[in-house]
C-alpha cells in the first residue's frame, strides 16, 4: 500500500481525495501538509530529546509535491547522536506499518555535504529539502550550505545534469507526441522543469516571463499525473490510453482529445524552453558573472548573415536596425536559421512578436520564396517552425494553422500530433524533390495536406478549401492553386489504391490516371505519399508498400504518356504457370518473400493455404489466384510477423498438410491465439471504422469486397473460408496494415465467373464476413 491507501486509513484524509475541486498543486500541497502533521506526531511521540536531530523532507516530498501515490523521501539528520539507530527504527517502522513507500537515509551534516559533492542525486534532492520536525537550525544550516556548495560547483555539475536530461529523453520519448506519454520522465515532462530549476539555482536567473510560463505548463502536466494516481488508485507516470478518458473527466476536459491536446501543448512549451536554456548554457562562452541573467546579450564579435541579420553564439540575431514590423524579416530570420543550422535568438523573436505586422495579400514574391526556401531545408525546418510557433509567429504567417496546434491523433498508426506530422511530412518531402518538376509545390503540399484535420467536417474536403485560400493569398497562379488543391484532394489516393486494389487490373490504372489528370501531379502525389506515410509512423510505410506505390505511379505514368496499357498488365499467370497447370504439375515453392502453390483445384484451397501461413507466423501482404484445366494457381507475398527469416521447408510442409486435409487449421489457430495473443485491457481508437463494403464500380471484371477490422491472427483464413462457403472465387487479395487495424481487399467472382450483383448474395457476404471478424475478436 502506498500513500493513497495510507491517507485513507491511518492519516484519515480520504476527504482530500474525494474533493474533486482539489487538483494539481493544490491537492499535492494539501496531502503534503497532512503527511507533515502525521510525521510530526510520530516524531513527537518517539523522540524525547530533539536537540541535534532533524527530520527533513527531500525530493518531491521536499517540494511539497506529493501526488496520491508518491514516495515519501526523508533524511534523518543528526549531530553524531549515539542513539540515532534506535531513533530511526522508531520513526521508520510506523511509516512502514502503514504500507507507505519510504525513501530514507540517516546522515550527519558533514556526511551529507561530502556526499553532495560527489553525488548529483543527493545534491539536487537537497535543493528541495524542507524541515519537518526536530532541530530546525540543523536543517537550515544544511540547506544553506548545500545551496552555496551547489552554486560553487554548478559549472561542474551542469554537463552531467544536461547529459542526464538527454539520456532521459532518449529513453522515455516525447510527452507531446507519444500515444501513452511518460508525464514525469519524458521530454517536456515534469523532470525537465526540475532540471531547469536546479540549473537556475547554480548559474543563472530565469526570466520572469519564462518562469511564469513554465509554472503554468508544469501545472497542466502535474494535474494529469495527480488524477492518473487518483483515478487508477495506484502509482504511475505513464498515461495509458485506457486511463485518458477517466483523467480527462476528472479534470473537466470535454474528452480525452482535449486533455491530450493540453498536455501536448504544455509539453511542447516545456521542451522548447528547456532546449533553449540548455543550448544557451552549453554554447555561451561568457564568464560566470555575465551568465547570471539568461536574457543578457553582448553584440561583440557578431557576423553578418543576411540583410538585417547576424550570427552570435550559434544563433541567428536581428540587427538593431532590422525592421521587425516587416513580416519578411521574420521569414528571412527563419530561413537563415534553418539554412545555417542556427537557433533563433530569443530577444529577436520577442521583437518580432511585439512588432510584426500581418503579411499583405497577396504575399510579396520574396515572402513566398523565403517560406518555400525554409521548407526546402528539410529536417532543419521543424525546429525553426516550432520556435516561431512558440512565440505565436507561425500562426500570424499561416492563420489556418491554429486549430491544428498540438491536436492529438490518438491511435497506434500516427506517431505525431497533426501540426508536427505536417512539419515532418514537409521535411521528408524536401528529400524527395529530385523526383518532381516543382519542388515548391511538393513541400508546400506536404505541409498543408492534412490542414483540414483541425476543423469540423471531412478533413480532405475542408482542407481543399483552406489550401485554395492559402495558395491564392500566397500569390500562386490559378494553375498552381489547382495542383495544390489536387494534392490535398488525392493525398490518400495512391496508398489506398496501391494497397487495396489489383494493379494488374486495367480499370485500376485508368481510374488513378483519370484522377491525377497530369503526370506532374501524379509524381507530386507519389512523393507526397512517401513523405506522408513515413511521417505518419513505422506501420504506415514499408518496402512492400513503397514498391506498390512506385509500381502504381510507373504504370499510370506509362499510360498517361501514351503507352499501351496491355504492356504493363496481365502478368499473372505467366506462360510458364499456365504450362504447368495444363500439364497437371503440382508445386509448393517458397522463395524470398513469395509462396507459389499449384495444385488440383479444391474447395477452400485459398483459405487452407492462408491458415497454414498464419500458423507459420507469416503475415500475408498480397495474394493472387487463378484456376483453369482443373488446377489452381495461388501466389502469396508474405512477411514474418516477428521480422525473422522465413523457414520455407517448415512452411511448405504445413501447406502440404493443409492441402491434404491433414491439418486442423481452426483448432491450431485457436490454440495459437490463446497462447500468443493477449487481449489488451483497452482497444486503441481504430484508424478507420470496422466495416464491410461491396464495390461493383471500380472493376469491370470482378467485385471488390473490402473489410476493415482489428488485426487478428487467422483473420485472412477465416474471411476467405467464409467467401469460399458462399461459392466465391478469389482472384486476388491485399492486406493493408494500419498499426493494429487492417484493411483487406478481395477481387472475387461468383460460381458462374461473374460479378456479384444479387443484393441477397451481397447481404449474405456482409453477414458472413462480419461473423468472421467477430469470431476472431471473441
Q: Assign 298 a pLDDT band (cuts: 50, 70, 90).
A: very low
Confidence (pLDDT) at 289: 42
Confidence (pLDDT) at 245: 96
660 and 688 part of one domain: yes
Confidence (pLDDT) at 572: 80
542 and 598 part of one domain: no
Query: Is the pLDDT score of 706 beyond 90?
Result: yes
Q: HEC profile for 94-132? A: HHHHCCCCEEEEEECHHHHHHHHHHCHHHHHHHHCCEEE
Q: What is the CATH number of the domain that holds 513?
A: 1.10.3210
**Percent of the chain's residues with pLDDT above 70:** 93
Confidence (pLDDT) at 164: 96
Starting at the earlier edge strand, list the strands of the sheet with 53-57: 102-107, 72-78, 53-57, 130-134
82 and 146 part of one domain: yes
The chain-wide mean pLDDT, for the chain, equals 91
Q: Assign 293 a pLDDT band (cuts: 50, 70, 90).
A: very low
Confidence (pLDDT) at 284: 66
Is residue 61 in some structural domain? yes
3-state helix, strand, coil in the chain (%, to 5): 55, 15, 30
Q: Assign 739 a pLDDT band (cuts: 50, 70, 90).
A: low
Mean pLDDT of 511-538: 97
**Percent of the chain's residues with pLDDT above 90:** 75
586 and 564 part of one domain: no
Q: What is the pLDDT of residues 135-158, one digit of tens each?
A: 999 999 999 999 999 998 877 889
566 and 594 part of one domain: no
Q: Which of 290, 314, 330 corresponds to the end of one domain? A: 290
Mean pLDDT of 526-542: 94
Confidence (pLDDT) at 574: 87
pTM above 0.85, yes or no: yes
Rounded-to-integer distance, Cα 178 and Cα 379, Å? 20
105 and 254 part of one domain: no
Is residue 210 in some structural domain? yes
Q: Which of 540, 571, 602 corresponds to the end of one domain? A: 571
Asked if 581 and 596 count as a contact pair (C-beta separation under 8 A), the reply is: no
693 and 637 part of one domain: yes
564 and 605 part of one domain: no
Burial class of residue 473 (count of CB atoms within 10 Å of its CB; 0-12, 13-18, 19+): middle
Q: Which of 571, 591, 614 corresponds to the end of one domain? A: 571
The distance from CA 497 to its chain's CA centroid, rounded to whole angstroms, is: 25
Most confident range (mean pLDDT) of 83-87, 484-488, 535-539 is: 484-488
Q: Assign 740 a pLDDT band (cuts: 50, 70, 90).
A: confident
Q: Which domain holds residue 62?
A: 3-151
Q: Assign 13 a pLDDT band (cuts: 50, 70, 90).
A: low
Confidence (pLDDT) at 8: 45
Mean pLDDT of 124-132: 96
632 and 766 part of one domain: yes
Q: What is the pLDDT of residues 384-413, one digit of tens each?
A: 999 999 999 999 999 999 999 999 998 878
Ranges of beta strands (E only) in 586-630 are 587-591, 594-600, 618-628
184 and 122 part of one domain: no
Query: Is the pLDDT score of 205 beyond 90?
Result: no
Confidence (pLDDT) at 20: 82
Any bridge partners for residue 596, and if so which? 589, 635
Confidence (pLDDT) at 726: 94
More confident residue, 683 or 619: 619
Mean pLDDT of 26-39: 94
641 and 710 part of one domain: yes
More confident residue, 573 or 434: 434
Confidence (pLDDT) at 677: 56
Q: What is the pLDDT of residues 278-291, one digit of tens each?
A: 988 887 644 444 34
Is residue 389 in some structural domain? no
Confidence (pLDDT) at 410: 84
Is residue 144 in some structural domain? yes
Q: Assign 742 a pLDDT band (cuts: 50, 70, 90).
A: confident
Query: Is the pLDDT score of 678 beyond 60?
Result: no
Domain count, the chain: 4
Q: Assign 301 a pLDDT band (cuts: 50, 70, 90).
A: low
More confident residue, 598 or 565: 598
Q: What is the pLDDT of residues 483-493, one digit of tens each?
A: 999 999 999 99
Confidence (pLDDT) at 249: 97
Is residue 649 in some structural domain? yes
Cβ count near 583 (within 10 Å): 10
Mean pLDDT of 640-660: 93
Rounded-to-integer distance, Cα 25 and Cα 564, Å? 70
Is residue 402 in some structural domain? no
Confidence (pLDDT) at 296: 42
Is residue 407 in some structural domain? no
DSSP 3-state of 162: helix
Mean pLDDT of 735-753: 86
Query: Is the pLDDT score of 676 beyond 70?
Result: no
Distances (CA, A) of 750 to 378, 641, 731, 765, 770: 51, 32, 11, 11, 19
Any bridge partners for residue 605, and if so which? none
Confidence (pLDDT) at 570: 63
Q: What is the CATH number of the domain that holds 125?
A: 3.30.460
588 and 567 part of one domain: no
Query: Is the pLDDT score of 435 beyond 70?
Result: yes
Confidence (pLDDT) at 673: 77
Task: Classify residue 475 as left (phi > 0), alpha (psi -120 to 50) or beta.
Answer: left
Query: Is the pLDDT score of 379 beyond 90?
Result: yes
Confidence (pLDDT) at 686: 58
Is residue 342 in some structural domain? no
Amino acid at each position: 500500500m502506498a500513500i493513497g491507501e495510507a491517507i485513507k486509513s491511518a492519516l484519515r484524509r480520504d476527504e482530500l481525495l474525494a474533493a474533486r475541486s482539489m487538483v494539481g498543486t493544490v491537492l499535492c500541497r494539501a496531502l503534503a501538509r497532512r503527511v507533515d502533521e502525521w510525521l510530526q506526531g510520530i516524531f513527537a511521540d518517539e523522540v524525547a530529546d530533539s536537540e541535534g536531530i532533524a527530520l527533513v523532507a527531500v525530493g518531491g516530498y521536499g517540494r511539497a509535491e506529493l501526488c496520491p501515490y508518491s514516495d515519501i523521501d526523508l533524511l534523518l539528520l543528526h549531530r553524531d547522536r549515539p542513539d540515532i539507530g534506535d531513533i530511526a527504527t522508531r520513526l521508520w517502522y510506523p511509516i512502514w506499518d502503514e504500507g507507505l513507500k519510504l525513501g530514507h537515509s540517516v546522515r550527519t551534516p558533514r556526511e551529507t555535504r561530502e556526499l553532495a559533492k560527489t553525488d548529483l542525486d543527493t545534491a539536487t534532492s537537497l535543493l528541495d529539502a524542507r524541515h519537518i520536525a526536530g532541530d530546525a537550525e540543523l536543517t537550515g544550516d544544511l540547506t544553506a550550505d548545500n545551496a552555496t556548495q551547489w552554486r560553487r560547483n554548478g559549472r561542474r555539475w551542469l554537463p552531467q545534469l544536461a547529459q542526464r536530461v538527454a539520456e532521459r529523453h532518449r529513453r522515455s520519448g516525447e510527452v507531446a507526441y507519444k500515444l501513452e506519454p511518460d508525464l514525469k520522465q519524458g521530454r517536456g515532462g515534469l523532470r525537465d522543469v526540475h532540471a531547469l530549476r536546479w540549473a537556475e539555482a547554480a548559474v543563472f536567473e530565469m526570466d520572469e516571463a519564462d518562469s511564469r510560463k513554465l509554472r503554468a505548463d508544469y501545472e497542466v502536466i502535474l494535474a494529469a499525473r495527480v488524477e492518473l494516481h487518483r483515478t487508477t488508485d495506484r502509482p504511475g507516470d505513464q498515461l495509458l490510453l485506457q486511463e485518458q478518458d477517466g483523467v480527462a473527466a476528472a479534470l473537466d476536459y470535454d474528452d480525452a482529445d482535449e486533455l491530450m491536446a493540453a498536455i501536448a501543448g504544455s509539453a511542447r512549451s516545456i521542451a522548447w524552453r528547456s532546449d533553449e536554456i540548455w543550448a544557451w548554457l552549453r554554447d555561451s562562452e561568457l564568464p560566470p558573472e555575465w551568465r547570471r541573467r539568461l536574457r543578457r546579450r553582448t553584440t561583440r564579435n557578431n557576423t553578418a548573415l543576411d540583410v538585417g541579420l547576424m550570427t552570435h553564439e550559434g544563433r541567428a540575431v536581428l540587427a538593431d536596425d532590422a525592421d521587425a514590423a516587416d513580416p519578411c524579416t521574420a521569414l528571412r530570420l527563419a530561413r537563415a536559421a534553418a539554412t545555417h543550422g542556427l537557433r533563433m535568438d530569443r530577444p529577436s523573436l520577442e521583437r518580432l512578436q511585439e512588432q510584426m505586422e500581418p503579411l499583405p495579400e497577396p504575399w510579396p514574391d520574396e515572402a513566398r520564396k523565403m517560406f518555400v526556401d525554409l521548407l526546402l531545408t528539410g529536417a532543419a525546418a521543424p525546429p525553426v517552425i516550432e520556435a516561431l510557433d512558440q512565440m505565436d509567429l507561425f500562426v500570424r504567417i499561416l492563420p489556418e494553422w491554429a486549430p491544428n496546434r498540438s491536436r492529438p491523433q490518438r491511435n497506434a498508426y500516427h506517431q505525431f500530433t497533426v501540426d508536427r506530422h505536417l512539419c515532418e511530412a514537409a521535411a521528408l518531402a524536401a528529400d524527395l524533390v529530385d523526383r518532381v518538376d516543382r519542388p515548391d509545390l511538393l513541400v508546400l503540399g506536404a505541409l498543408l495536406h492534412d490542414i483540414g484535420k483541425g476543423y469540423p467536417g471531412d478533413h480532405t474536403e475542408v482542407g481543399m478549401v483552406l489550401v485554395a485560400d492559402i495558395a491564392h493569398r500566397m500569390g500562386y497562379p490559378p494553375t498552381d492553386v489547382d495542383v495544390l488543391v489536387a494534392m490535398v484532394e488525392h493525398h490518400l489516393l495512391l496508398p489506398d489504391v496501391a494497397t487495396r486494389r489489383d494493379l494488374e487490373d486495367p480499370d485500376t490504372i485508368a481510374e488513378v490516371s483519370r484522377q491525377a489528370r497530369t503526370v506532374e501531379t501524379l509524381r507530386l502525389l507519389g512523393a507526397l505519399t512517401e513523405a506522408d506515410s513515413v511521417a505518419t509512423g513505422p506501420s504506415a510505410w514499408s518496402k512492400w508498400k513503397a514498391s506498390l506505390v512506385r509500381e502504381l505511379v510507373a504504370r499510370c505514368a506509362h499510360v498517361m504518356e501514351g503507352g499501351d496499357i496491355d504492356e504493363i498488365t496481365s502478368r499473372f499467370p505467366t506462360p510458364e504457370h499456365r504450362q504447368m497447370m495444363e500439364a497437371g504439375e503440382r508445386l509448393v515453392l517458397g522463395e524470398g518473400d513469395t509462396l507459389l502453390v499449384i495444385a488440383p483445384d479444391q474447395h477452400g484451397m485459398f483459405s487452407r493455404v492462408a491458415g497454414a501461413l498464419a500458423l507459420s507466423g507469416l503475415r500475408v501482404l498480397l495474394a493472387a489466384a487463378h484456376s483453369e484445366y482443373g488446377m489452381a494457381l495461388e501466389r502469396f507475398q508474405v512477411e514474418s510477423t516477428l521480422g525473422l527469416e522465413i523457414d520455407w521447408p517448415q512452411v511448405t510442409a504445413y501447406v502440404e498438410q493443409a492441402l491434404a486435409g491433414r491439418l486442423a487449421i481452426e483448432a491450431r489457430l485457436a490454440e495459437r491465439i490463446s497462447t500468443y495473443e493477449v487481449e489488451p485491457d483497452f482497444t486503441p481508437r481504430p484508424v478507420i471504422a470496422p466495416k464491410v463494403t461491396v464495390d461493383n464500380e471500380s472493376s469491370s471484371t470482378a467485385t471488390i469486397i473490402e473489410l476493415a477490422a482489428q488485426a487478428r491472427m487467422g483473420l485472412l483464413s477465416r474471411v476467405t473460408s467464409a467467401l469460399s462457403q458462399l461459392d466465391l472465387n478469389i482472384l486476388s487479395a491485399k492486406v493493408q496494415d494500419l498499426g493494429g487495424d487492417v484493411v483487406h481487399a478481395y477481387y472475387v467472382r461468383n460460381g458462374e465467373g461473374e460479378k456479384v450483383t444479387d443484393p441477397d448474395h451481397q447481404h449474405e457476404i456482409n453477414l458472413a464476413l462480419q461473423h468472421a471478424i467477430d469470431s476472431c475478436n471473441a
